[in-house]
Amino acid sequence: MPVTLQRIAVFCGASCGNDPEFALAAQALARCMAAQGIGLVYGGGTVGLMGEVAREVMRASGNDDNAVLGFIPAALAPKELSGEMIGKLTIVDDMHTRKAQMAQHADGFIALPGGRGPTGCLKR
């Protein structure tokens, strides 16, 4: 029996990593998901690869707020939120709750690279 994916949780960094290709890959993944009608569950941030994936899913989904669900711990909100919120955002108590909520709302999981690097990704 085929599995229908409604939402995929994408785990990635609040930075862009040390290679500009990471941001391009995140954007390509987001476009692929949106083209197949698959929504995003993510860490809720608007910076780094998290922001890249979320903004691109929103854009490619016609700015449908239901296409993006974010979960962010209150302690990280000042560091990982910059500018306008993306999709539906829930502020949670801690990292454990963040990951549990992401798992509860997702039908599958993808991990992208990231880590050290700037929070603002470079565009080509």
Dump the DSSP string for the chain: -PPPPSEEEEE--SS-TT-THHHHHHHHHHHHHHHTT-EEEE---SSHHHHHHHHHHHHHTTS-GGGEEEEEETTTHHHH--SS--SEEEEESSHHHHHHHHHHH-SEEEE----SS-SSPP--
In a domain, 119, yes or no: no
In a domain, 108, yes or no: yes
Domain with 12 in it: 7-112
Tell me the pLDDT tens digit for each residue of 51-108.
999 999 999 999 998 999 999 999 999 888 887 889 999 999 999 999 999 999 999 9
In a domain, 78, yes or no: yes
Cut 0.75: pTM above it: yes
Task: Write down the mean pLDDT value for the chain.
Answer: 89
Sign of CA dihedral 74, 19, 22, 83: positive
In a domain, 60, yes or no: yes
| pLDDT attached to residue 37 | 95
Q: How many domains does the chain have?
A: 1
Which tokens go with 27? 């954007």
| pLDDT attached to residue 124 | 46
pLDDT exceeds cutoff 60 at 117 = no
CATH number of the domain where residue 11 is located: 3.40.50.450
In a domain, 102, yes or no: yes
In a domain, 124, yes or no: no
In a domain, 54, yes or no: yes
In a domain, 71, yes or no: yes
pLDDT (average), residues 5-34: 91
| pLDDT attached to residue 62 | 92
